[in-house]
Structure 1
Amino acid sequence: MASTNTIMTKLIKRIRTYGELVMFSHTLFSLPFALIALFIAADGFPSLNLFFWIMVCLFAGRNGANALNRYVDQKYDGLNPRTQSRHMPKGIVKSKEVLIITALCYILFVFAAYQINLLCFYLSPIALGLFTLYSYTKRFTWLCHIVLGITCAGAPVGAWIAVTGGIDLIPLILGAIVTLWVSGFDIVYGTQDIDFDRSVGLFSIPARFGLTGALTIARVFHMIMWLLLISVGMLAHLGIVYYVGVGISALLLLIEHGLIDPGHRMKMNFAAYHINQLISTMLLITTAIDIFV
């Protein structure tokens, strides 16, 4: 019994380590927008079977992409003082383990897409291509933040296709919202690495345009994103509760940009991550209330 308990404890600890590696808690970024698209497309809740496979796709795709990103970036993570404590630079997780996690997630993603419908299955290689491409973009283009946003935008677009078997204007706008939103806060977060990126030859909007230019671009992205949120409410005929959520999101975005301080890591984590998790979660809640109540 003691031996079994020891094995289970080690297994749980390892699973927790893998969750930290892929930043599993950050699933709250794209997932709410995927659910928003899903609920609007289904005009309520879809079948449990469809919902299950959509969730499998979302979790497998996101975590596989993050695992690959950790593998690809391990050299630079080891050189950057801000990221030297991550799992791969410290040797807590080996390269082989990360590649196995990535492969398993990618396979599960394709299998889940096949369970949904043929269009999702046929489009799944494009999604995997974007997952993989993003990890290398900082080597050759400062548009890397936008590529990340486009990759995350696949969540609401894919959820819509899963429900309807086709595409429409609303999911495309939701995809644009996610692209601008994620690109914006990734630019904000990237301002911490301006000097490092320039010193090692990595590309980013902060390294290309400097702190002031990068923050201006991020603000413009988030302003357009907010306007697009209003257009989604109009096209989907959502009610007052949704617009309350849109209003709160504007306030949270103002707080986010007011907190930016590249020299203060805790403030940057709160501004780039925690506030944006609140934004997506709050928008999901207000949208769901409008649709279901």
Structure 2
Amino acid sequence: MSSSASTVGVTAPAPNKVRAFLRLVMIEHSVFALPFALIAAFTAMWIDSRSVHWLQLCLIVVAMVSARTVAMAGNRILDRRFDALNPRTGRRELVTGVLSLGTAWRGFAVALVIFLASAAALGWLPLLLSPVAVGLLILYSYGKRFTDFPQALLALAQAIAPVGAWMGVTGGFAWPATALGLAVGTWIGGFDLIYSCQDAAIDREIGSRSFPARFGIASALRWSTITHLITVACYVWFGVAAGLGMIWWVGLAITAAVLAYEHTIVKTDDLSRVNRAFFTANGFVGIQLFVFALADLIAQGLRP
């Protein structure tokens, strides 16, 4: 019997829906915003009681990851037609059919339930504000349809994470949380300005609005630099307002150097290293700044 005949009636294994959904929402990219929610949580715990509240910390991690999953799933669902028209995004799971739209909606719903439940477990104020957070996250997905400034909507949505984490610990508002929220929002909004430059031409062609598509790549890179200067200023504000020490300032100096490096490797006429700036440099920023912040808090008396 020939090998071709022996394979008759054999069907390819069905793709793993969970794995495909996690690829769709790029779950590993939680590394960008999660460290800053943890910085807010640990700092609030240090100010509040000098000790780690482990249950609250676990709930904050669950809330953060599930909220990001809601945002990414919603974005992929709403943008699937734009993604199909863009060669860079044309291999995404909803475009190729690896993941069905129904499965994506179910994943979205599960993540939303988990987020709301974790917010409720953290207290009435996080639960009360959770619809605002979800609304802003989803609004960003619609942004490219009605504004040339979707990165501003992204910045606003991402700024909520540290503020929410702080409220989850203390049950109230504080200026250090605001400073950290603004730092995170401008940081992510600034590097999304860089990332979106690679789609400027195709965005104009398919009618997807963005800052680079409207004002040009050179202007986008210039405003990304200005935005990241504001980021560093907000990190300084946070360090002063929270009373952090020398270890934090060393970490912040490294962060400023990495951001400066990021802006030297992406040029108006050379976007070939956008992914290095977006994924490698920014992933490093989140992790190393969290490590230095935690080390500083431990040195100043934070107990397990």
The TM-score, its normalising length taken from structure 1, stands at 0.93
Q: Does 1:33 align with 2:39?
A: no
User: How does 1:210-229 map onto structure 2 within 5 Å?
Assistant: 210-229=216-235
For 1:16, the aligned partner's letter is R
2:130 corresponds to: 124
Q: Give the count of matched residue pairs.
A: 284
2:76 corresponds to: 70
Q: Is the 8 A contact 2:221 2:268 kept in 1?
A: no
For 1:206, the aligned partner's letter is P
Could you list the runs of 5+ residues in structure 1 that have no partner in the other structure?
1-8
Cα shift readout 1:214-257 (whole Å, capped 9, x = no counterpart)? 11110000011112211211121211111111111111111111
The one of 194, 201, 210 aligned to 1:195: 201
For 1:63, the aligned partner's letter is T
Cα shift readout 1:135-160 (whole Å, capped 9, x = no counterpart)? 11100001210111111111100000
Larger Rg: 2
Could you list the runs of 5+ residues in structure 2 that have no partner in the other structure?
1-12, 300-304
Structure 1 CA distance for aligned equivalents of residues 217 and 268 of structure 2: 9
Q: Does 1:107 align with 2:113?
A: yes
For 1:54, the aligned partner's letter is I
The one of 17, 20, 31 aligned to 2:20: 17
1:6 corresponds to: none
Q: How far apart are 1:104 and its partner, in Å?
A: 1.0
Cα shift readout 1:16-61 (whole Å, capped 9, x = no counterpart)? 2221110111101110110111111110553222112111111111
Q: In angstroms, what is the RMSD of aligned CA positions?
A: 1.7
1:273 corresponds to: 279
For 2:185, the aligned partner's letter is T
The one of 234, 241, 263 aligned to 2:240: 234
The one of 160, 165, 175 aligned to 1:159: 165
Q: Does 1:96 align with 2:107?
A: no
Shift of the 55–146 alpha-carbon distance from structure 1 to 2, 3 Å rule, reads same
The TM-score, its normalising length taken from structure 2, stands at 0.89
1:245 corresponds to: 251
2:190 corresponds to: 184
Q: How far apart are 1:127 and its partner, in Å?
A: 0.9
Structure 1 CA distance for aligned equivalents of residues 30 and 289 of structure 2: 15
Identity %: 35
